[in-house]
Amino acid sequence: MFYKIILSCVALFGAAVHAETGPILMQQPEETIFDTATNVDSVSLHCRATGDEPITYTWEKDGAPLSQATNARLVITPGQLTITSPERTVDGGEYVCMASNQVGSVRSLPAELVFAYVDSFDPSATSTQSLTAGQGGCVTCNPPPHFPGILVNWFHENMLVDSSDSRIRVMDDGRLCFFYALASDAGAYRCQVKSNVISDGGVEMRVSPLVTVTVNAGSSSSAIRIVQENRPTDVTTIAGEDVKFECFFYGPQPTGQIPRVQWVRTSPPGAGLPTGRAVLEEGGEILSIVGVQLEDAGSYLCYIDDVNSGASAGLNVAEAPAWVSEPMDAMKDINTMQEWNVEAEEADQYTWYRNGEILTARDRHQFRNNLETLIISDLMTTDTAMYQCFASNDHGMIYSAAQLSVRAFPPEFLSPMETDKPAPLTATVTVVCDVDAAPAPTVTWQHDGQPITDGARYNLTADPPNLVIIDVQMSDGGTYQCTATNSNGTVTGEGSLDIKDATVITGHPDNTLVEVGQSTTLKCKAAHDEYLELTYLWEHNGVEIDLSEIERYRMSERDNGNLEIVSAQLRDGGEYTCVALTVADSDRSSATLDIAGPPGPPSGLSVEVENLAANLRWVPGTDNNSPITSFTIEGQTDHSDEWVELRSGESAGSNSVRLVNLDPFSLYSFRVIAVNRIGRGTPSEPVEAGVKTGKTAPTASPSNVGGGGGNTGDLRITWDKFPSSKWNSETVSYKVEWQKVDSQVSSTGLLEEPNAIIYTATLGIELYTQYNVRVQAKNDEGEGPFSEWAVIYSYQEAPKTAPTGVKAERASGTTINVSWDAIDESTFEGELMGYKLKYWSDDSNEANANTAVSLGVGTSNTIAGLEPSTRYTVMVAAYSGGGNGPDSNTASDTTFKSAPMQKPTGVRAVQSETGGDLTVNWNGITTSASEEPLMGYKVRYRTEGTFAPDAVTIIVQGNEKTTAIIRGLTYETTYLITVVGYSDGGNGASSNPPLSVTIAKGRTGQSSDDPNGASRTAGVLSFSLFCVVTLLHSLSQLL
């Protein structure tokens, strides 16, 4: 048994060193282009740092400090350098920002300020240049010095040269080039030049002196060619930049359009133009690559017609340095050492700075590994500073900064050492003297004034400088002093140990086995020091159980440390550890809880199909602490998603099975389920057989064979669709057989459609005669069984006579009752199926009539859904399986006006004092001129949970009476009550929502005007008393 206790003597790390933060650059100056043509009179560079305030900013230009005192055009504010009236020859250069505070200084990356300009042409520099007709060539206006680039427009005889002419192109260097020259190209030219920098304010235009172009006679070029000055040039850039290649050819005058320039990538082999980022412009003469990537490096060739006559240029994509390892902030003690190791990909050079000044090797400063390592030895407080490492190559520069803080102070404690710290007998106690000092202190210990040295039970550790006491005894109680000394001073802390009885678990939890769903209790009890409070907690597989999160785990004070697990699940199995603890120590004891549950899923299921059999093999899964007793095999086919049990009770000792008599021509999937005394386990993952079972002739016959009727001369034979699962092959056909009931002579027909459900026999079929019919399925493997014989009738005659005595009588605003005399069924061969009522309104006609059907031999029906106050005409015809008979004579009537459209309101009910009777009252309604006069009301009631057609109706006659009594209702039953007005036009609109009334012992009243349907007499009485009290109070105020 092992115990450990820590007696804390904590000193704050860096107690004598305040947490100070040096400057950190959040914004650095960026390369800036100032356009000399702009009307803006200043330019600004920005620099911003965070850290301890105050932060001051200084600037350098080309390594020399800048000062407002010596340059009145400079304005230096926190975070910004502004130059007013910038001058190209004076202010252009490289600028660096320095941010400083009490900790140190950091410098920014250098940023260049450059000026965009276009100088003036020499007005005397006129020139004469020549072209040859039919051949390509270029003329130049010799643009003046400029930066960074120019935009050039050419004018011919004071007219702007058409840049859309594919024969002509203005090159990036300002030259005007011709694919081939014409005599009309001769004349006076000037070029207009401006900077390619777009800025606010004015634009400075420069116009060249006169360029005279002559066109000499000559023969046309014989081939397309490119001259050196028009070839694309090599480009070196860094990833992410945009690049542009320019290419211009000379050639003969074509018969059609000038051919388009094309581009290909010639290296690396097989590479194409960058997908989605390569753009061709100006008829293909410019290839732009947007956002260049490393993989875009290679050679690019422009050509017209023939690749071999093209010109190529290389693209080299370089990388700026990127940090792999940077210097990190450090806090070190005086007289120790600081070492930084850095690494940057693609870096050619490293430079170190201390507080913004370049750092070189000194007595205590050493560089190694080509300046990738900086070592400062024998640290002094003056080494506290900001250090920076700059990594650079020809394509960029990066830097990283680190703050070094060097500490020097006497030992100090955060708080006094704890006194009377409980220390259990036989435990291992660590008395902590967590002292902080710089340089590191020497620590000594005393117990009750006597020095302590390393021994059998005392261990003096160095870092941290603690005292470890092994196997605590009663004699170890008392006072302990920790004394820490360095060159800056001495400090002593004092604490004490109070020896206590150890905490020991005396009642250990037992290993337990329970079934899934059962509950169990793991017991735990401990002895402890009587003066210390004991607490229990439990761990499951090393993780503390949070009783507030998992309801299945319960503990109670009366059970001491017992843990109850309610309705155990498989996931509850594992190791449970009881931890008994006090503020001084703890003890722990573990036990295993095994959960017996249904088996886990088998694995490794394999299937091999042989005709109508399948061989299955599997690997049993876990038995979940209850031996597997058997296996169940289930199957599913491509005909159904349902899993069907194919075999059960398969021996637990068997890991394979052969299934026979499977369904023919079916693609099976199989799964295996293990069973134990707890129940069925989780099925294995399904495995598809991969091939279908073998074919056989159908083993079943079509079902529900019947039919009858049909057109004249027909015998219709029908059956239910024969499911594909019973085809036993790719397809199936049907053999249909029929014979007259009183005959032994059969006829047959064949139907090839596998999804057919009807066959019509037409040869020799007699009128309205009984036939025996049956159907057989067959496939390429053979014939299946015939269905049982079914008796059906052949085609029928339609009725030959019309109904007589047709009458039409209005019943309401939307219905008419129709009656007629039956026809004589002996007048035709067939079965009377019913009557069809054809009806139409006066504003329609017979051709657009609606039809209502009256099934059977009845001779009356009601036509519903009619319009109020509308005259309708009706005709009746009998019909059979052979069709409709002739129409009767017509009968007519006009529907009543509308039923009441107003719904009753204020429905309320009061229960009688003596029993289950309800008196229902409501507010009366009125009718309009378009409605039939009100004849009374209907009160409908039903029990809650039933439907409106189940309601009982009480009729209240007369339009003045608005009350009704419902008698004999059942106690403790809820009823729903509605009221409607009625007239000759029918039943009107119903009150809504239904009034809900629960019959209880005592008087009760409810109203449908209450949104909750729960206004009761007691509520009415309370409201009345409230009104009386309010009235009396008001009177007293007046008096």
User: What are phi and psi for residue 361, nearest 5 degrees?
Assistant: -65, 135
| Domain extent for 674 | 603-688
Q: How far apart are CA 446 and CA 824, in angstroms?
A: 131
958 and 994 share one domain: yes
**pLDDT tens sequence across 524-571:** 999 999 999 999 999 999 999 999 888 899 997 766 899 999 999 999
- Please compute the mean of the pLDDT values over residues 853-882 and round it to a whole number: 95
Among residues 475, 499, 523, the one where a domain terminates is 499
The answer, yes or no, to whether residue 1024 has pLDDT greater than 50, is no
209 and 265 share one domain: no
43 and 112 share one domain: yes
Place 373 in a pLDDT band, splitting at 50, 70 and 90: very high
Among residues 637, 661, 688, the one where a domain terminates is 688
Residues 6+ apart with CB under 8 A from 173: 140, 143
Secondary structure class of 456 (helix, strand, coil)? coil
Q: How far apart are CA 691 and CA 419, in angstroms?
A: 82
- pLDDT the model gives residue 202: 65
Q: How far apart are CA 1009 and CA 1015, in angstroms?
A: 9
CB atoms within 10 A of CB 20: 14
Q: How far apart are CA 885 and CA 172, in angstroms?
A: 96
Q: Tell me which amino acid residue 997 is.
A: V
**pLDDT tens sequence across 295-330:** 999 999 999 988 888 999 999 999 999 999 999 999
Contact 804, 722 (CB under 8 A): no
The dihedral built from the CA positions of residue 660, 663, 667 and 669, taken in this order, carries a sign that is: negative
Whether 565 is covered by a domain: the verdict is no
Stretch among 59-73, 251-265, 495-509 having the lowest mean pLDDT: 251-265
The answer, yes or no, to whether residue 158 has pLDDT greater than 70, is yes
> What is this structure's pTM?
0.53
Whether 476 is covered by a domain: the verdict is yes
For residue 988, with 0-12 CB atoms within 10 Å meaning exposed, 13-18 middle and 19 or more buried, which class applies? buried
Q: How far apart are CA 678 and CA 980, in angstroms?
A: 62
- Please compute the mean of the pLDDT values over residues 569-580 and round it to a whole number: 95
Closest by CA position to 561, among listed 545, 542, 573: 545
The answer, yes or no, to whether residue 339 has pLDDT greater than 60, is yes
Angle at 929 between CA 923 and CA 933, to 5 degrees: 55
- pLDDT the model gives residue 1017: 34
Contact 815, 807 (CB under 8 A): no
Q: Tell me which amino acid residue 625 is.
A: N
Closest by CA position to 600, among listed 570, 575, 574: 570
Q: How far apart are CA 988 and CA 1003, in angstroms?
A: 31
Share of residues in the chain with pLDDT > 90 (%): 83
Among residues 198, 220, 242, the one where a domain terminates is 220
DSSP 303-344: ESS-GGG-EEEEEEEE---EEEE----EEEETTS-EEEE-EE
Whether 3 is covered by a domain: the verdict is no
Contact 136, 180 (CB under 8 A): yes
Contact 881, 799 (CB under 8 A): no
**pLDDT tens sequence across 347-370:** 999 999 999 999 998 889 999 999
831 and 842 share one domain: yes
The answer, yes or no, to whether residue 65 has pLDDT greater than 50, is yes
Q: How far apart are CA 977 and CA 561, in angstroms?
A: 61
Stretch among 279-283, 667-671, 937-941 having the lowest mean pLDDT: 279-283
User: What are phi and psi for residue 667, nearest 5 degrees?
Assistant: -90, 110
Q: How far apart are CA 162 and CA 865, in angstroms?
A: 80
Residues 6+ apart with CB under 8 A from 426: 1, 3, 471, 472, 502
**Do the strands 211-216 and 127-132 form a parallel or antiparallel pair, or are they unpaired?**
parallel
Whether 970 is covered by a domain: the verdict is yes
Peptide bond into 143 cis (omega under 30): no
**pLDDT tens sequence across 84-96:** 999 999 999 999 9
Contact 884, 798 (CB under 8 A): yes
Stretch among 7-11, 140-144, 402-406 having the lowest mean pLDDT: 7-11
Closest by CA position to 640, among listed 667, 608, 662, 659: 667
470 and 575 share one domain: no
User: What are phi and psi for residue 932, nearest 5 degrees?
Assistant: -65, 150
Per-residue three-class SS string for 632-657: EEEEEECCCCCCEEEEEEEECCCCEE
- pLDDT the model gives residue 283: 84
Q: How far apart are CA 278 and CA 866, in angstroms?
A: 74
Closest by CA position to 841, among listed 863, 821, 819: 863
885 and 932 share one domain: no
453 and 477 share one domain: yes
Strands (E), 448-529: 450-451, 458-460, 467-469, 478-486, 489-500, 504-507, 512-515, 520-522, 525-527
The answer, yes or no, to whether residue 255 has pLDDT greater than 90, is no
- pLDDT the model gives residue 456: 84
The answer, yes or no, to whether residue 1038 has pLDDT greater than 80, is no
Q: How far apart are CA 141 and CA 148, in angstroms?
A: 18
The token duo for 480 is 């302990």
Whether 673 is covered by a domain: the verdict is yes
Whether 1009 is covered by a domain: the verdict is yes
Radius of gyration over every alpha carbon of the chain, rounded to an integer in angstroms: 53
CB atoms within 10 A of CB 257: 9
Place 822 in a pLDDT band, splitting at 50, 70 and 90: very high
The answer, yes or no, to whether residue 658 has pLDDT greater than 90, is yes
Secondary structure class of 469 (helix, strand, coil)? strand
Q: How many helices (H) and strands (E) does the chain have?
A: 2, 92
Place 1027 in a pLDDT band, splitting at 50, 70 and 90: very low
The answer, yes or no, to whether residue 1005 has pLDDT greater than 70, is no
The one-character DSSP state at 10 is B
**pLDDT tens sequence across 785-812:** 999 999 999 999 999 999 999 999 999 9
- pLDDT the model gives residue 3: 34
Residues 6+ apart with CB under 8 A from 442: 484, 485, 486
Average pLDDT in the chain: 91
Whether 493 is covered by a domain: the verdict is yes
821 and 884 share one domain: yes
Query: Could you give the number of structural domains in the chain?
Result: 10
Residues 6+ apart with CB under 8 A from 696: 612, 664, 665, 728, 729, 781, 782
User: What are phi and psi for residue 278, nearest 5 degrees?
Assistant: -95, 125
Q: Terminal CA-to-CA distance of the chain, rounded, Å?
A: 90
Q: How far apart are CA 554 and CA 581, in angstroms?
A: 19
- Please compute the mean of the pLDDT values over residues 429-433 and round it to a whole number: 91
Q: How far apart are CA 62 and CA 701, in angstroms?
A: 102
106 and 147 share one domain: no
What distance lies between CA 415 and its chain's CA centroid? Answer: 52
765 and 855 share one domain: no
Q: How far apart are CA 338 and CA 113, in angstroms?
A: 38
Stretch among 591-595, 711-715, 842-846, 1026-1030 having the lowest mean pLDDT: 1026-1030
193 and 287 share one domain: no
Place 990 in a pLDDT band, splitting at 50, 70 and 90: very high
Angle at 890 between CA 887 and CA 892, to 5 degrees: 145
- pLDDT the model gives residue 2: 34
> What are 905's strand-pairing partners?
923
The answer, yes or no, to whether residue 8 has pLDDT greater than 80, is no
CATH value at residue 173: 2.60.40.10
User: What are phi and psi for residue 238, nearest 5 degrees?
Assistant: -110, 160
Whether 55 is covered by a domain: the verdict is yes
Place 1002 in a pLDDT band, splitting at 50, 70 and 90: low
- How far from 703 is each of 61, 752, 954, CA to CA, in Å? 101, 18, 51
The token duo for 699 is 């083993």
677 and 634 share one domain: yes
The answer, yes or no, to whether residue 9 has pLDDT greater than 70, is no
Contact 317, 395 (CB under 8 A): no
The answer, yes or no, to whether residue 1015 has pLDDT greater than 70, is no
For residue 321, with 0-12 CB atoms within 10 Å meaning exposed, 13-18 middle and 19 or more buried, which class applies? buried
Total length of the chain: 1039
Angle at 19 between CA 17 and CA 24, to 5 degrees: 135
